[in-house]
Amino acid sequence: MADIPDISQGWLALLGAVLGGSGLKVIEAWLNRSKDKEDAASQLRNELRGEIRSLRDELKNVEDELDKCRGKYYELLDEFVRAKGELAAAVRNLRNNTLDE
């Protein structure tokens, strides 16, 4: 027979372990691809939920600020109407007093 190198049992076991381990990792990565896609989609959904939560909080703050501004507006409007009425009464009194003289 030809000269075939004699490989010992230890080297065969080592070669088998390396090839078997790397093959197992390749198969495992191939099988987990869909899980990785699901994890990415789940992460994206969680980020969107967080963003929605923050937008809702911001909207609530803006609505609260709007309510405060609206309250101030109506207070000023009441004060204006009251002042306008007082002015009209004062003008009437002044006219009446000047007509009486």
Residue 100 scores a pLDDT above 90 = no
Least confident window among 28-42, 55-69, 73-87: 28-42
The answer to whether residue 71 sits within a structural domain is yes
Tell me the average pLDDT of the chain: 85
Measure Cα distances from 2 to 6, 7, 45 in Å: 12, 15, 65
pTM, 2 dp: 0.50
Ranges of beta strands (E only) in the chain are: none
8 part of a folded domain: no
Q: What value, to the nearest 5°, has the Cα angle with vertex 31 and ends 30 and 34?
A: 95
| Angle, vertex CA 91, rays to CA 84 and CA 100, nearest 5 | 160
Examine residue 5 and state whether it is found in any structural domain, yes or no.
Answer: no
The pLDDT value recorded for residue 1 is 44
Q: How confident is the model at residue 4 (pLDDT cuts 50, 70, 90)?
A: low
- Two tokens, residue 71: 């309250």
- Is 35 contained in some domain? yes
Helices (H) and strands (E) in the chain, counts: 2, 0
